[in-house]
Chains A and B, each alone.
Chain A
């Protein structure tokens, strides 16, 4: 899906429309007619709201204010507040929501790439019997409503009665050392790994995309590598990785964009109260509370635009690295 974005597209100009033949003009009118549902929707639900958010970010406005009330300009004060807000930036040992978001992404993103890739490699093994059944069953948990999955996993992770701790106890872990999971703050056995574990059922999509990427690698390449005497690592490094780099790129970009907006899981689990000890106050959760709980639309808007700029920056950086490591077969055509 993203290969398309790596190619620069030209903006249409009025001159190009004038230069069209009558037939081509009719084709353009027909085409735009069929695009019109999206064009209208894009204006009404994407472009205008985005600009309105930008406008609101310079106003003092509550959700309760009437639409046509006289705007109270706040100048840059919302952004000034944003740049010094201790809820966003870490101060004196208390982690801010932006740092929490980045820290969690640093834990969750590698799992979100390596786990589905590992399963896909396992399923792509020519020695595996019944690949289709495995594919269906490994994908299945992705279908489960995420709210239902959360409660199921909270049961699994319950420190006293959950299966995970029961297995740990059975393996000889002392009762006092059993992980607290969602009530703990340890980076290894606390709330972040618990959230990563809960999220593991949401990786079915990435798994399938990796699998089809692996299946798309021509077998002649592997045969050639074998003839040349390449070992397993060399084969992976020089054949598998470049050939599946587009799907890695796809999952990496989508995963990162989603992790920057991570907040629904803590919202369901503890109504977004940040427990334990503010460790789950993700940036987007703080934004949710600013807007919906405290009804502060002006500040919420500036937070939303700030997030937009951060995500934009990260995607631009990722896309600009693509030419160094993402290989699109047949792109030299």
Chain B
């Protein structure tokens, strides 16, 4: 008797435990759904402007001007009938000849002959039924919209902007400065990461402090001198400084170099390798992730740079990169939002492709600059 009691108690607790773990699993499932749905909702709102851009870039100017038109690219529906393109309207069926007067439905019908008192329609879905009249004025009717993206907007922008030239200029700027950044920052970062001498840490602090220096403090005399030696209007003021290292990329590379084991360096040094040789044959082959990160960062930076090209290149139309051309294009076409959005979209395609290809390196690089010491 006592034995069976303990047994049944044990059984009860085990079913209770089972229920508890089931509840826990269920509540975890609810939590996962809730958090994931919430984050997705935030993401959709955050990225919705992309959809706005795509939709607007494919609209006709008439649709943009018309209040109450759909948010997706569309035009009023038409129907090809007996060799002519005729307009489609939303017609209350009850007004039509031979229809049930109590029928509340609305059909999309094509107007063959428009009239104030009655209009002759044909049903695009059932042409064989022939023409029939309805007692409505065509002016009082709304029109349905049909999906009609205007791909020609993009070719219009390509022509108006001289797009291939802009792409070439922007790429030229990105590649030339990229070469400078990669060479100079790698050398400097190697110097900071692998050599010990008095004052090194002071210099490194100085390098990082330059991040806080307002740009205009150095810009005014630099611009003045560049102007006097005739560099304004050429690429030189943008490309030459890239060969003298910058704080962000040096920091990123130095942090990575510091994580590489010194044993290989020392072994090579014993064998009489020069510091250059060690950098080239030992450090660089181990550093592809960070070199890719710096490369991609810099390309995106150069692609997006507006102010540098604006002050040095705005007098030289032939050298404009996309960031300088886009505002001028927008000034000229301010009444054509569809072209502005198409231009904006075309300007961001290449950086976005690059980002998706190299996003792993990208994200690692940002984490190093923000979180490392």
> Which residue on A lies nearest to B351, using beta carbons?
A143
Give, as a whole number of angstroms, the nearest-CB distance from B191 to chain A.
Answer: 3
> Which residue on B lies nearest to A14, using beta carbons?
B198
A-B Cβ contacts below 8 A, count = 300
Residue B147 is within 8 A (CB to CB) of chain A in the complex? no
Residues of A within 8 A of B340 (CB): 151, 155
CB-CB nearest 5 A-B residue pairs: A41-B244, A12-B199, A31-B195, A34-B191, A209-B370
**A260 contacts B214, CB within 8 Å?**
yes
**A141 contacts B31, CB within 8 Å?**
no
Interface residues on B, range: 35 or more
Give, as a whole number of angstroms, the nearest-CB distance from A312 to chain B.
Answer: 7
Residues of A within 8 A of B38 (CB): 122
List residues of A whose CB falls within 8 A of some B CB. Answer: 1-5, 9-13, 16-17, 20, 24, 27-28, 30-42, 44-46, 48-50, 52-53, 56, 63, 66-67, 119, 122-123, 125, 127-130, 134-141, 143-149, 151-153, 155-156, 158, 160-163, 166, 200-201, 205, 208-209, 212-213, 216, 246-247, 250-251, 253-254, 257, 260-261, 264, 267-268, 284, 287-288, 291-292, 297, 300-301, 303-305, 307-308, 311-312, 315, 328
Complex: how many Å from CA A323 to CA B169?
A: 47
Given known A-B contacts A155-B53, A216-B371, A42 and B330 have beta carbons under 8 A apart? no
Complex: how many Å from CA A24 to CA B303?
A: 43
Which positions 189-224 of chain B face chain A at CB distance < 8 Å?
190-192, 194-224
Residues of B within 8 A of A5 (CB): 205, 208-209
Residues of B within 8 A of A301 (CB): 220
Which positions 23-67 of chain B face chain A at CB distance < 8 Å?
28, 31-32, 34-36, 38-39, 42-43, 46-50, 52-53, 56, 64, 67
**A138 contacts B43, CB within 8 Å?**
yes
Max chain B Cβ within 10 angstroms of own Cβ: one of A34, A53, A128, A288: A34
A208-B370, A304-B214 are known; give 10 further A-B pairs, CB within 8 A: A1-B369, A32-B197, A44-B244, A45-B222, A125-B39, A147-B304, A155-B337, A208-B367, A250-B370, A300-B216
**A307 contacts B217, CB within 8 Å?**
yes
Complex: how many Å from CA A143 to CA B31?
A: 32
Max chain A Cβ within 10 angstroms of own Cβ: one of B212, B311, B326: B212
Residues of A within 8 A of B184 (CB): 37-38, 41
Q: What sequence of 0s and 1s flags, for each residue 335-373 of chain B, a beta carbon within 8 Å of any chain A beta carbon?
A: 001001101110110011011100100110011011111
Residues of B within 8 A of A17 (CB): 198
**B43 contacts A308, CB within 8 Å?**
no
Give, as a whole number of angstroms, the nearest-CB distance from A272 to chain B.
Answer: 11
Residues of A within 8 A of B49 (CB): 152-153, 156, 163, 201
Residue B187 is within 8 A (CB to CB) of chain A in the complex? yes
Residues of B within 8 A of A145 (CB): 303-304, 306, 322-323, 326, 347-348, 351
